[in-house]
């Protein structure tokens, strides 16, 4: 039997976005979908204005307070007055008033006293205090409404603020519901024997209207083939989708298969691997979708949720249901022969079944639920199992965010020309980039981790792998495939060669997830964005596919044409693109060069410093002395301070400084080198710092430190060991340090 996913593909293949547009006034814009990009025709505010009631001043006149200033006049909000600045002058101004030229700040009225035309300022201000700059809110030319955005009240406010009174929007998707069945009566009528009130039409109509569908009609038709045909024919010209309920199974009065055949409709499918609602039908007539649902209320709702919203989105609608992974609480022991959707309740990454009534005719218990569990055929559930969950379209939006279940998507990228090998296999601390990235995404809370690889990649990996379908399209194809294969609505995409990112960088992006946006990325619309450490929503699949069809392969194009939240960059997120980047990553940040006295530690460090610098490293050095030492000389000022009892003192000039006295430890000293790429420490052979030890002939005959990375020696028998390098081959020592894995 055909799968649900195949049915959805058949429906989407027949539909195209609604092209018609309408120009709508501001008061009717909320909830509509913008048709075009709208840019601000002016700055907001268009002039510098006061944020407070007070006095416009030049800040430099208030540097020394109290100060008396001459009041030149008064400006109220809406006034068009101009006053010429003169030294030691002020203008009384009210909130929203235009600040005259020459004045660069506003002193609050509370910080002044007035007498006649003289104001005394008691608290000075800096330039632009309480001063709203031109364009502070919106800049002329700024995109204030991208195409395809569901318009919110705040958008209407911004449009009004820049003088726009109407906006071109997409025509709403139009749909009608026709319930068939001679047993049905409308609510409000006197119920006759053997009849029932029709209730599913109202349910479906309310769901659609809530998401912006223009519901054209809702009606009832008795089980009469000719009357059903006439009703449908009347609905086809003015609708994009006609939904029917009832008459799809194999009973004597199940007339819909015969109706569609007689009308010449193109049947897309009749029956699918889904319970409830197996006999659901879909067809196309004159370019309009006919979605024929079961007459059982719960079966109709489930199939409506699965099929209609996909059709709505394909027609240009702005809503797709939210799907995610969740951990199941409780037990479900019934074995189903086919795929089943169970009514349930979801919250904070957990889901449970809150009813024992699962009949297709029962819907009252759905008031206590908010989701469907998508259960595979033959599967039972026990406490803690991970399941696929689909939020119902009338579930509160806050259930769609702030839970830790999402898919982690790794973009492999393949072999790098500059690195000379597949980046996924590069190692740090003995672990490959890929293994480290999987662990990173799992630590973030990913319910599943997928790997995107090129079409030609024949490697075997210890996780679910998604291969590109198209060649030479770059990361955009990998992202597309990851979004298609993910079981959750949101996918966190990260390149395999982005390593050691602060987890707070992820948490900040995660905090912005919302049902109103399609992507969350570090960067800005005008500047650089980081597309390979970002959240993408499944709603972007069609957008990405359109770009690929147009031979546009820059991921930035995806952000520019969708609802993207740009987050200001505050963390270092860097790809490992060349050998020097890799060397910095794998080289221990702090390296001890140790050995017994007179073994040549200082000489080796002195030789290594320029090598690190030539390879782009910023180097710091810390020298440890096992004995007490004295940097200061008797009689100097700092020596006198210490003798007088200061626990620590410092001396500095424009080019150098020194810190004298007081106990310290290596961790504190390392913290004094925040900009160093590598810190070389002379000594500390007994510390846990990664170290190399010098074992020099005539000075020492064996290593004395704990677990060195390797030894540098000139003793022949030690040089035969795999953990030894020649003390006289500084180049080899440097290579070994910068390839440490």
Six token digits for residue 351: 């889901």
SS3 for 437-495 is: HHHHHHHHCCCEEEEEECCCCCCCCCCEEEECCCCCCCHHHHHHHHHHHCCCCEEEEEE
Please answer whether residues 346 and 370 qualify as being in contact, where contact means their C-beta atoms are separated by less than 8 angstroms.
yes
Q: Give 308's DSSP letter.
A: I
91 three-class SS: strand
Reference 447, options 425, 464, 423; nearest CA is: 464
Picking from 686, 711, 683, 694, the residue whose alpha carbon sits closest to that of residue 599 is 694
Task: For residue 464, list its beta bridge partners.
Answer: 450
Distance separating alpha carbons of residues 733 and 735, to the nearest angstrom: 6
Q: Looking at residue 712, what is its pLDDT?
A: 94
Cβ-based neighbour number of residue 700 at 10 Å = 18
Task: Quickly tell me which residue has 């939006």 as its tokens.
Answer: 397
Residue 422: predicted pLDDT: 75
Question: Among all chains, which residue has been given the structure tokens 């309408």?
Answer: 22
Domains of the chain: 4-10+173-314 (3.40.980.10), 21-44+137-170 (3.90.105.10), 49-132 (2.170.190.11), 323-395 (2.40.340.10), 407-567 (3.90.550.10), 587-738 (3.40.50.300)
Q: How far is CA 229 from each of CA 11, 221, 287, 574, rounded to the nearest angstrom?
A: 22, 10, 17, 62
The H or E element spanning position 159 is helix 153-161
Measure the CA–CA gap between 110 and 113, rounded to whole angstroms: 8
pLDDT at 461: 80
For residue 633, give Cα distances in angstroms to 627, 638, 643, 655, 656: 18, 9, 12, 20, 17
Ranges of the chain whose pLDDT falls below 70 = 361, 396-405, 413-421, 429-430, 525-527, 570, 581, 583-588, 626-633, 647-648, 654-657, 660-664, 739-741
pLDDT of amino acid 409: 94
Please tell me the pTM assigned to this model: 0.56
Report the run of H or E that residue 509 belongs to, with start and end.
helix 503-510
What is the model's pLDDT at position 92? 98
- Per-residue model confidence (pLDDT) at position 739: 66
| Per-residue model confidence as pLDDT tens digits over 420-463 | 567 788 877 667 888 888 988 887 878 789 999 888 777 778 78
CA distance 50 to 523: 31
- The reported pLDDT for the residue numbered 363 is 76
As a whole number of angstroms, the distance between CA 518 and CA 716 comes to 64
**CA pair distance 700, 693, nearest whole angstrom:** 11
Contact 105, 58 (CB under 8 A): yes
pLDDT of residue 402: 41
Q: Which two tokens stand for residue 166?
A: 């109407």
Q: Can you read off the two tokens belonging to residue 651?
A: 């001396």
pLDDT at 396: 59
């Amino acid at each position: 039997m055909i799968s649900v996913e195949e049915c959805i593909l058949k429906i989407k293949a027949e539909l195209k976005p609604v092209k018609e547009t309408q120009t709508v006034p501001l008061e009717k814009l909320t909830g509509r979908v913008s048709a075009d990009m709208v840019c601000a025709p002016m700055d907001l505010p268009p002039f510098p204005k006061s944020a407070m009631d007070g006095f416009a001043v030049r800040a430099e006149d208030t540097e020394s307070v109290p100060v008396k200033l001459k009041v030149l006049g008064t400006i109220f909000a809406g006034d068009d007055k101009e006053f010429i600045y003169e030294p030691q002058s002020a203008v009384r101004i009210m909130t929203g008033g235009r600040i005259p030229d020459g004045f660069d700040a506003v002193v609050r009225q509370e910080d002044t006293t007035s007498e006649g035309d003289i104001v005394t300022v008691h608290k000075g201000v800096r330039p632009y205090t309480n001063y709203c700059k031109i364009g502070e809110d919106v800049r002329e030319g700024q995109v204030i409404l991208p195409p395809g955005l569901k318009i919110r009240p705040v958008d209407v406010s911004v449009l009004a603020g820049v003088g726009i009174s109407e906006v071109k929007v997409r025509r709403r998707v139009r749909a009608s519901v026709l319930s068939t069945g001679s047993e049905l009566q409308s609510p409000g009528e006197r119920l006759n024997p053997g009849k029932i009130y029709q209730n599913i039409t109202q349910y479906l109509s309310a769901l659609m209207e809530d998401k912006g569908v223009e519901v054209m009609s809702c009606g009832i038709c008795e089980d009469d083939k000719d009357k059903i045909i006439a009703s449908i024919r009347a609905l086809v010209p003015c609708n994009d989708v006609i939904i029917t309920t009832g008459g799809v199974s194999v009973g004597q009065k199940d007339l819909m298969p015969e109706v569609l055949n007689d009308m010449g409709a193109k049947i897309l499918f009749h029956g699918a691997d889904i319970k409830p609602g197996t006999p659901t039908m879909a067809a196309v007539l004159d370019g309009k979708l006919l979605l024929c649902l079961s007459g059982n209320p719960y079966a109709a709702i489930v199939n409506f949720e699965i099929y209609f919203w996909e059709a709505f989105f394909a027609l240009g609608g702005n809503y797709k249901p939210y799907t995610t992974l969740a951990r199941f609480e409780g037990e479900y022991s019934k074995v189903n022969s086919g795929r089943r959707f169970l009514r349930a309740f979801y919250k904070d990454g957990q889901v449970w079944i809150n009813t024992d009534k699962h009949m297709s005719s029962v819907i009252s218990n759905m008031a206590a639920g908010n989701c469907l569990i998508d259960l595979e055929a033959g599967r039972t559930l026990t406490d803690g199992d991970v399941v696929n969950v689909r939020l119902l379209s009338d579930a509160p939006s806050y259930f769609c965010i702030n839970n830790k279940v999402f898919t982690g998507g790794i973009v492999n990228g393949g072999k790098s020309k500059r690195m000379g090998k597949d980046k996924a296999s590069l190692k740090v601390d003995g672990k490959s980039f890929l293994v480290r990235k999987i662990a990173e995404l799992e630590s973030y809370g990913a319910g599943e981790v997928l790997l995107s690889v090129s079409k030609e990649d024949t490697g075997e990996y210890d996780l679910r792998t998604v291969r590109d379908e198209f060649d030479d399209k770059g990361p955009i194809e990998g992202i597309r495939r990851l979004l298609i294969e993910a079981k959750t609505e949101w996918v966190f995409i990260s390149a395999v060669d982005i390593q050691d990112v602060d987890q707070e960088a992820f948490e900040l992006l995660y905090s912005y997830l919302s049902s109103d946006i399609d992507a969350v990325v570090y960067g800005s619309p005008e500047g650089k964005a980081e597309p390979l450490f970002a959240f993408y929503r499944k709603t972007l699949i069609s957008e990405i596919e359109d770009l690929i069809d147009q031979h546009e392969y820059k991921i930035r194009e995806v952000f520019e044409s969708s609802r993207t939240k740009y987050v200001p960059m505050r963390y270092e997120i860097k790809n490992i693109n060349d050998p020097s980047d890799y060397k910095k990553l794998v080289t221990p940040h702090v390296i001890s060069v140790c050995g017994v006295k007179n073994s040549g530690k200082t000489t080796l460090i002195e030789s290594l410093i320029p090598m690190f610098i030539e390879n782009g490293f910023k180097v710091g050095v810390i020298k440890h002395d096992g004995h007490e030492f004295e940097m200061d000389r008797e009689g100097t000022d700092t020596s006198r301070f210490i003798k007088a009892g200061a626990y620590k003192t410092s001396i500095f000039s424009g080019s150098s400084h020194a810190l004298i006295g007081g106990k310290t430890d290596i961790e504190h000293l390392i913290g004094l080198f925040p900009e160093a790429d590598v810190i070389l420490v002379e000594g500390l052979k007994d510390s846990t710092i990664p170290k190399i030890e010098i074992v020099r002939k005539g000075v020492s005959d064996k290593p004395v430190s704990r677990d060195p990375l390797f030894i540098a020696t000139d003793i022949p028998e030690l040089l035969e060991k795999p953990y030894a390098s020649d003390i006289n081959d500084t180049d080899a020592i440097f290579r070994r340090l910068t390839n440490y894995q």
